[in-house]
Amino acid sequence: MDARRFLGKTVVITGAAHGIGAATARRFLDEGARVAAIDREADGFAGLEAEHGRLLAVAGDCTDAAALADFHARALAAFGPVDVLFNNVGQSGRERAVEFHASSEEVWRFVLEVSLFTTMRMARLVAPAMRERGCGRIVNMSSDAAFVGDAGLADYAAAKMGVVGFTRALARELAPFGVTVNAVAPGAIRTRAHDRLAPGVIDRIKAGAPAGFIAEPEDVAGCVAFLASDDARYVTGQTLMIDGGRWMI
């Protein structure tokens, strides 16, 4: 880890109070960045604020377009132009997730809203300035569920594959202007939601990954930091699988 790699850079992260978002915020802060973060559960930001002092923490609903626009404006006012956007926020139907024949359009719309439309909205907010400045990094959150097609997650898989298609199209549009756009697609990562799963489910997840273990949020954060760094300046339109080999391209 290079404590100076993102020195002077402004990083914006959605859904950053817990799990992968929080781990990624910490990674960028540890490497010198100024971080603007938004989450409905702002209590998770307390430790990061006290530890670094380079964090703008905003409580807000990422499915609210006006809240995102206000967050973006506050980030610009506090830290200046956005260098890196990590569109982390997203969610499956969770307790409402069922096989497709029993699913409802209400849940589809929620999953698409939080997992795809928030990504598009935030990218739309930062892309014009990145394009004008001739530099920038956008990293979007997909999922290996989009590639594997897990039963009971048809809406989530559709939304996350939508993120992949959006990533590729936006990467092609912005590449001539020095802006890269990539996605990460994690598999089983130990988060709060994951910790609520029954032991038998955990065992099946482990068995399905050749690596044989469940990753930590920090494993994803390191990959996001790579894609946001100058080391990845010639990488764009790609989806990096972080799933222990469950899906191999």
- 173-193, pLDDT tens digit by residue? 999 999 999 999 998 888 876
The stretch 136-149 carries a mean pLDDT of: 94
Q: What is the mean pLDDT of the chain?
A: 91
Q: Give the sheet arrangement for strand 10-14, strand by strand.
A: 55-59, 34-39, 10-14, 84-87, 136-141, 179-186, 239-242
Q: What residue spans of the chain are helical by DSSP H?
A: 19-30, 46-52, 65-79, 105-112, 118-133, 145-148, 154-174, 192-195, 199-208, 217-228
In eight-state DSSP terms, residue 82 is -
Backbone dihedral region of 19: left (phi > 0), alpha (psi from -120 to 50 degrees) or beta? left
- 207 vs 186: CA distance, rounded Å: 16
pLDDT at 135 over 90: yes
> Given 3.40.47.10, 3.40.50.1860, 3.65.10.10, 3.40.50.720, which CATH number is that of 10-242?
3.40.50.720
Is residue 67 within 8 Å of residue 77, measured between CB atoms?
no
DSSP-based three-state secondary structure for 5: coil
Q: What DSSP line would sit under 183-218, residue for residue?
A: EEEE-SB--HHHHTS-HHHHHHHHHHSTT-SPBPHH
In eight-state DSSP terms, residue 96 is G
- 164 vs 162: CA distance, rounded Å: 5
- 24 vs 229: CA distance, rounded Å: 13
Domain ranges of the chain: 10-242
241 or 198, which is more confident: 241
Side chain identity at residue 94, one-letter code: R
CA 241 to mean position of chain CA atoms: 13
pLDDT at 103: 83
pLDDT at 189: 87
Is residue 18 within 8 Å of residue 191, measured between CB atoms?
yes
Q: What's the whole-model pTM score?
A: 0.93
pLDDT at 197: 56
pLDDT, tens digit, 9 for 90 and up, residues 20-79: 999 999 999 999 999 999 999 877 787 776 566 799 999 999 999 999 999 999 999 999
pLDDT at 198 over 60: no
Residues forming a β-bridge with 184: 141, 240
| Catalytic residue list | 156
